[in-house]
């Protein structure tokens, strides 16, 4: 909580700046909404910084939160800038208010549950009532932007528990409010991030809350219940047990039409759906609801019966396009597969042709893959779609040989090749193609999107045959991140669980499993006996009193031995990037690109690499691009700003042709979408520098850039 002195100074600054602030807001000088505006445009009308002067940009100020965890924390927040104040979250999800001119900290708020990540905030104001709504763990919190104190009249003394009101008991299951909701009148509309693995998972229903009281106003069941449309696309009892189907990526709202656009995630388990046979509406859909009532308006499903974690990764962009001399209200949705889907905003009619293509069937027991999948015929994909032998890296003869040897043992790659025991290539990878940073659109209907060209490999393994309860719990809950070999994933900053005893005491291990840490959620649905058993398995100690096992691998209600669901017969060995022996992607470059696509015509205007490896440049290789996370910012000054790349650079491009104009090294990777604002006649560009992805160091800073002060 802020000190009284800091709170008073913040309130005084807010009051003194109010007349100028209202003028700035009217002129578009603030960044008052996540990703710029409620249409998720990532666009600003500011023009002070231009291609002609961008090379003169310098650091205006830097703020350090001081709470990064070495190599294990991130900052993914796209900050808000309102009335001359920056509102941002730190690596430990602390909410801070900063003077937008200097970066001076005004106040800091400590969240109730600092687990997971936070990508942004929502702001609401009416009269003298102002509040910031943001998520930390499974709590939605309302904070007074003038003081940094909870607003006691909201929910339970300032907080709403998002694990309540889902229509079934989700005690102990992972729920995180990582992406801000959208504000529509007096409502905040949002979904949550939930579990995706073989373990039990909560449903991701869309909910609207009154911003004043915190009371839930409506709920749309993304896993339909009996009598609701879409119920027939699931097994009859799916609504009682299946999880996921959540708008984890964020939501967009058309205020004029009263429509909310929800990109819905996949159903659990991500990679085996034998217990959810059917097309599984509304998983993997763009779902459009009436913002006032939550009633269904239209939907489109991008992936039927998803087996690849191919859910839409970012909020859709609302855009106006020109066709035959007339304006058409449209919505564009980017996908992990590297496609852009364009629909009429009011009717859902595709604005480019779509075809259903025949895809392979599955050979895993119980699985019934969809025989067809939809694909847009235009725009052309902005990422390669097939990993063939011709795409194998030729960076060195040794790298080519090593990748070729593994390639020969894997299942031949085609789009929608189902998960398999021998190994299925996922390309573009789990993180895209497009990723959660999202795309930008300008008023001319040009979409700008960065993308990854990283292959991943999915290996399914039989879940049966465990010799102890601890091994059973580990297979069901832990292999997806830490791998069946327990070695973790350095590229994803997931620690190894090998040789834990010298690093953590048994009590510390139990605490991490029970309460979570950093991006790892709490596994509270496990009984104490299960938690004790998995710790014994990880440390090599004998299990003292395992509960009676009824037919092998079971899941249990919290602190009971009553089985509640039969687990899947398969699990997977983890989220594994396919790298060559030196740690570079197994595919030929480019490994990351930045693209401009004309949504009016569907044509690609330009494509350039994004990021580089200095050591490969020194060897004479051309820029390869790198894996990247975080989205672009586009301005009326004809500039595109983006961090995202693994090399930790912040760059400016000419949005008209993709030419790089400026770059600067950040204190840690800028894996977040930047923002821009103007105060006292000076334009600033700000980005979170949290690092902590792709094996890079973690950071704790926000850096603001501006032209030299006059």
Q: Which domains does the chain have, with CATH numbers?
A: 1-106+589-710 (no CATH), 464-567 (1.10.760.10)
User: 494: pLDDT confidence band, cut at 50, 70 and 90?
Assistant: confident
Q: Which residues contact 505 (CB under 8 A, 6 or more apart)?
A: none
What is the pLDDT, as a whole number, of residue 559? 44
pLDDT digits (tens, 9 = 90+) for 467-487: 788 877 887 778 777 877 888
pLDDT digits (tens, 9 = 90+) for 193-237: 999 998 899 999 999 999 999 999 999 999 999 999 999 999 999
183 membership: H or E segment, kind and range? strand 182-184
pTM to 2 decimal places: 0.91
**Unique residue bearing structure tokens 């915190």:** 214
Return the ∠ at Cα 444 (arms to 681 and 380), rounded to 5°.
Answer: 130
Nearest-10 crossing angle of helices 528-539, 469-477 = 90
User: 27: pLDDT confidence band, cut at 50, 70 and 90?
Assistant: very low
Of the candidates 530, 512, 513, 521, the residue with the CA atom closest to the CA atom of residue 567: 530
Return the ∠ at Cα 410 (arms to 407 and 411), rounded to 5°.
Answer: 125
pLDDT digits (tens, 9 = 90+) for 155-168: 999 999 999 999 99
**Average pLDDT in the 276-295 region?**
98
**Average pLDDT in the 108-130 region?**
92
Arithmetic mean of pLDDT over the chain = 91
What is the pLDDT, as a whole number, of residue 555? 46
Residue 276 tokens, joined: 């959810």
pLDDT of residue 24 exceeding 50, the answer is: no
**Average pLDDT in the 375-400 region?**
98
Report the C-alpha gap between 354 and 375 in whole angstroms.
Answer: 6
User: 15: pLDDT confidence band, cut at 50, 70 and 90?
Assistant: very low
């Amino acid at each position: 909580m802020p000190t009284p002195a800091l709170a008073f100074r913040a309130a005084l600054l807010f009051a003194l700046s109010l007349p100028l602030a209202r003028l700035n807001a009217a002129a578009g000088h603030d960044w008052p909404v996540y990703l710029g505006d409620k249409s998720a445009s990532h666009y600003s009308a500011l023009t002070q910084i231009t291609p002609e002067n961008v090379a003169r940009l310098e650091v205006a100020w830097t703020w350090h939160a001081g709470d990064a965890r070495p190599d294990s924390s991130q900052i993914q927040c796209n900050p808000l800038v309102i009335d001359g104040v920056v509102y941002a979250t730190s690596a430990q999800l602390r909410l801070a208010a900063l003077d937008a001119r200097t970066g001076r900290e005004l106040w800091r708020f400590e969240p109730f549950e600092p687990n997971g990540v936070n990508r942004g905030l929502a702001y609401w104001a009416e009269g003298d009532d102002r509040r910031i709504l943001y998520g930390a763990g499974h709590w939605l919190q309302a904070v007074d932007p003038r003081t940094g104190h909870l607003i006691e009249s909201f929910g339970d003394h300032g907080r709403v528990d998002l694990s309540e009101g889902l229509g079934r008991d989700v005690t102990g299951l992972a729920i995180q409010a990582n992406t801000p909701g959208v504000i529509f009148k007096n409502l905040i509309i949002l979904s949550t991030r939930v579990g995706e693995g073989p373990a039990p998972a909560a449903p991701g229903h869309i909910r609207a809350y009154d911003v004043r009281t915190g009371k839930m106003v409506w709920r749309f069941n993304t896993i339909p219940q009996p009598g609701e449309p879409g119920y027939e696309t699931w097994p009859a009892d799916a609504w009682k047990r299946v999880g996921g189907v959540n708008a984890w990526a964020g939501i967009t709202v058309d205020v004029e039409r009263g429509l909310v656009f929800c990109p819905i995630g996949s159903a659990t388990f991500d990679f085996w759906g034998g217990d959810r046979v059917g097309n599984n509406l509304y998983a993997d859909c763009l779902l459009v609801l009436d913002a006032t009532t939550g009633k269904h308006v239209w939907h489109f499903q991008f992936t039927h019966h998803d087996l690849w974690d191919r859910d839409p990764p970012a909020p859709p962009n609302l855009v106006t396009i020109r066709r035959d001399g007339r304006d058409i209200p449209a919505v564009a949705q980017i996908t992990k597969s590297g496609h852009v889907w364009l629909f009429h905003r009011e009717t859902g009619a595709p604005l480019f042709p779509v075809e259903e293509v025949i895809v392979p069937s599955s050979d895993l027991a119980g699985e019934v893959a969809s025989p067809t999948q939809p694909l847009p015929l235009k725009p052309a994909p902005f990422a390669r779609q097939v990993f063939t032998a011709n795409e194998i890296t030729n960076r060195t003869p040794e790298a080519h040989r090593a990748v070729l040897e593994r390639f020969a043992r894997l299942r031949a790659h085609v789009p929608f090749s189902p998960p398999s025991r021998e190994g299925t290539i996922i390309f573009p990878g789990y993180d895209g193609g497009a990723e959660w940073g999202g795309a930008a659109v300008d008023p001319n209907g040009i979409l700008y999107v960065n993308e990854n060209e990283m292959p991943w490999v999915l290996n399914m393994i039989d879940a049966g045959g465990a010799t102890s309860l601890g091994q059973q719990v580990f297979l069901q809950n832990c292999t997806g991140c830490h791998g069946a070999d327990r070695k973790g994933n350095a590229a994803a900053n997931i620690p190894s669980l090998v040789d834990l005893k010298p690093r953590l005491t048994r009590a510390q291990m139990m605490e991490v499993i029970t309460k979570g840490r950093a991006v790892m959620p709490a596994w509270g649905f496990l009984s104490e006996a299960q938690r004790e058993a998995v710790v014994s398995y990880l440390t090599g100690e004998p299990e003292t009193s395992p509960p009676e096992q009824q037919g092998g691998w079971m899941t249990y209600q919290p602190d009971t031995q009553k089985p509640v669901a039969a687990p899947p017969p398969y699990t997977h060995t983890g989220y594994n990037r396919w790298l060559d022996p030196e740690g570079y992607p197994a595919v030929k470059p480019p490994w990351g690109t930045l693209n401009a696509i004309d949504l009016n015509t569907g044509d690609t205007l330009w494509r350039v690499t994004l990021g580089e490896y200095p050591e490969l440049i020194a060897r004479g290789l051309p820029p390869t691009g790198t894996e990247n996370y975080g989205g672009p910012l586009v301005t009326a000054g004809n500039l595109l700003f983006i961090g995202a790349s693994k090399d930790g650079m912040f760059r400016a491009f000419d949005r008209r042709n993709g030419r790089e104009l400026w770059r600067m090294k950040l204190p840690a990777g800028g894996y977040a979408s930047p923002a821009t604002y103007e105060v006292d006649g000076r334009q600033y560009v700000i980005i979170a520098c949290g690092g902590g992805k792709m094996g890079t160091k973690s950071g704790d800073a926000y850096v603001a850039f501006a032209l030299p002060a006059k």
